[in-house]
Amino acid sequence: MFTGIVEEVGTVRAVERRGDNGRLVIEAHTVLEDLRDGDSICVSGVCLTAREIGPQSFAADCSRETLQRTTLGRLQVGSRVNLERALTLATRLGGHIVQGHVDGRGRLLEVQSHGESWTVRIAYPPELGRYLVFKGSVAVEGISLTIAALADEHFDVAIIPKTWEATNLRYLQPGDEVNLEADIIAKYVERMLTHGREKIALS
């Protein structure tokens, strides 16, 4: 489990395909301080398991499901990725609860600069629309953000200088895909309501 507060931007140093699966080697610094083999780590919004931890990098295996559902299958050597270690009981929850379970891929439509802030517009797949709420939380590339405007096919998020400097958003271009994770609370509420209706229908 994560908070959506990115700790650093890492750089992909190797991409290895193993049949339908794959392995990434990512250069990093901050997240390596206490990272241990087998620890969960969020890579651009995807929960992975850290392996082969060295002084300047770590490796992570990616399943077929991960490569198909997220943008990790499109990463190349030199790609920038957001990194966050799993939260602890002593961690301040500065963002929102992020599982690292990507719901779908969105697409960056445009970035508007407003001097010292930015508005980023992102298209989302239709099946995610029911989980998105104006002023609600959404994870984009593992970043905890607030929806500033919501339309039928896209949403806007407002980016402050700290977020712009500390994440990979500044490296993305219009047309690039991004990992999206809806707020887990919305998904649980939907499940409870749906399950209740199913039980009533069967009774």
pLDDT digits (tens, 9 = 90+) for 168-197: 999 999 999 999 999 988 888 888 888 766
Classify residue 202: in a domain, yes or no.
no
pLDDT at 18: 85
Partners of 9 in the beta sheet? 82
In the structure encoding, which two tokens stand for residue 202, read together? 């069967």
SS3 of the chain: the string is CECCCCCEEEEEEEEEEECCEEEEEEECCHHHCCCCCCCEEEECCEEEEEECCCCCEEEEEECHHHHHHCHHHHCCCCCEEEEEECCCCCCCCCCCCECCCCCEEEEEEEEEECCCCEEEEEECCHHHHHHCCCCCEEEECCEEEEEEEECCCEEEEEECHHHHHHCHHHHCCCCCEEEEEECHHHHHHHHHHHHHHHHHHHC
Answer yes or no: do 113 and 184 share one domain.
yes
Q: What percent of the chain has pLDDT over 90?
A: 81
Classify residue 152: in a domain, yes or no.
yes
Measured distance CA(106)–CA(99) in Å, rounded: 17
pTM of the predicted model, to two decimals? Answer: 0.91
Answer yes or no: do 118 and 179 share one domain.
yes
Answer yes or no: do 110 and 183 share one domain.
yes
Classify residue 122: in a domain, yes or no.
yes
Classify residue 90: in a domain, yes or no.
no
- Phi and psi at 129, nearest 5°, equal -55, -35
Check if the beta carbon of residue 81 is closer than 8 Å to that of residue 26.
Answer: yes
Answer yes or no: do 81 and 130 share one domain.
no
Answer yes or no: do 72 and 137 share one domain.
no
Answer yes or no: do 115 and 78 share one domain.
no
Classify residue 199: in a domain, yes or no.
no
Answer yes or no: do 81 and 128 share one domain.
no
Domain boundary residue, one of 85, 112, 138: 85
Classify residue 76: in a domain, yes or no.
yes
Q: What CATH number does the domain containing 19 carry?
A: 2.40.30.20
Check if the beta carbon of residue 126 is closer than 8 Å to that of residue 198.
Answer: no
Classify residue 131: in a domain, yes or no.
yes
Average pLDDT for 4-16: 97
Answer yes or no: do 76 and 120 share one domain.
no
Measured distance CA(92)–CA(87) in Å, rounded: 8
First to last CA, the chain: 37
Answer yes or no: do 73 and 14 share one domain.
yes
Domain boundary residue, one of 22, 56, 85: 85
Domain boundary residue, one of 52, 85, 118: 85
Domain count, the chain: 2
Classify residue 74: in a domain, yes or no.
yes
Answer yes or no: do 150 and 182 share one domain.
yes
pLDDT at 78: 97
Measured distance CA(135)–CA(157) in Å, rounded: 9
With bands split at pLDDT 50, 70 and 90, how would you rate the model's confidence at 42?
Answer: very high
Domain holding 165, by residue range, is 104-189
Measured distance CA(137)–CA(134) in Å, rounded: 9
